[in-house]
Amino acid sequence: MKARQKRLVLVGLALVGVAGATTLALSALQSNISYFFSPSQVMASEHPTDAVFRVGGLVVKDTLARQEDGLTVHFKVTDNAAVVPVSYTGILPDLFSEGQGVVAKGRIGTDGVFYAEEVLAKHDESYMPPEVADTLQTAHVDGIVEQTTGTNTPRSMTQ
């Protein structure tokens, strides 16, 4: 084999190695990604049906219900345009409360309930997750447009 052929083989093997490492890294990242969806998007079925995703908004007042086991809770999350029922088994964060911002990570069930694996609450009085703030702002603007055009009646938070 000539020196030139050896270099070409070495460069080819290096490219194959880099491509393999890139493929492994991308597949690892893909399995850990969980996209954020607003309650409006979830109710419009824009969410994945077979993957973990996050939903966020405000916890609707007077919807928090604890089961007898002491660990399972049910509550509703809203973006002021739609409401998603959430079920979570575990210990809620200390800062979790009704009327406050929350992000839940999990899957949607065939019954339309979001089964959360993890629940995150805001960490101080002025903080709200950026995704939740954007969702609430969009829902607010959409609600104003709907009210001024008369095309749709905004949904109640207690739905």
Is 127 part of any known ligand binding site? yes
Strands 114-121 vs 83-89: parallel, antiparallel or unpaired: parallel
Q: Was 140 annotated as part of a binding site?
A: no
Q: How far out from the chain centre does Cα 1 lie?
A: 57
Q: The tokens 């998603």 sit on which residue?
A: 84
Using CB atoms within 10 A of its CB, is residue 20 exposed (0-12), middle (13-18) or buried (19+)? exposed
Separation CA 42–CA 53 (nearest Å):
10
- The token duo for 101 is 């911002």
State which amino acid sits at residue 60.
V
- With beta carbons less than 8 A apart as the criterion, state whether 47 and 37 touch: yes
Q: Which of 49, 103, 52, 95 is nearest to 77 (CA)?
A: 103
Binding residues: 123, 127
Binding residues for heme: 123, 127
